[in-house]
Structure 1
């Protein structure tokens, strides 16, 4: 991973890097995401490194929320929020 990629992932809190080891920052959310996405989740793309990480106009540099990146509907986001609230005993989000 490039330095910029590591920094962005670390800032998001979704993925962290420590001494060369990649970790999920919020591991409890991923099973919920994967069950909703039903195999529609792509971990890789087809753009080259030059097109993706070195082009300031690529989506890599855009301010895009994770629900847009994963193409989650508003209903799906609410479903995940409700599951998390139930799991952690939170009455109101």
Structure 2
């Protein structure tokens, strides 16, 4: 879906089918078909979608950013950048250390 939005490249039929199958598999894993819709929490759905969106973004970015650099160098740099972002977004409030 990232390719569709950023590159305006429509997904192939095979990718579309795999996306639909992954969504169905996720619904089975979440026991959506056996549970009641009243048991479904909107916050859980929102956080799950945010998690999926950011994970897909990391995978997409890792395939597009600095592809000429060795993966052995690129991965630690991306992980370090992610760690810095987490430290900025969630600063340590415990100053007793």
TM bucket (normalised to shorter chain) is under 0.3
Query: Which has the larger Rg?
Result: 2
Q: Which has the higher helix share?
A: 2
TM-score (norm 1): 0.26
What is the TM-score with the length of structure 2 in the denominator? 0.26
Bigger relative contact order, structure 1 or 2 (CA pairs below 8 A, ≥6 apart):
2
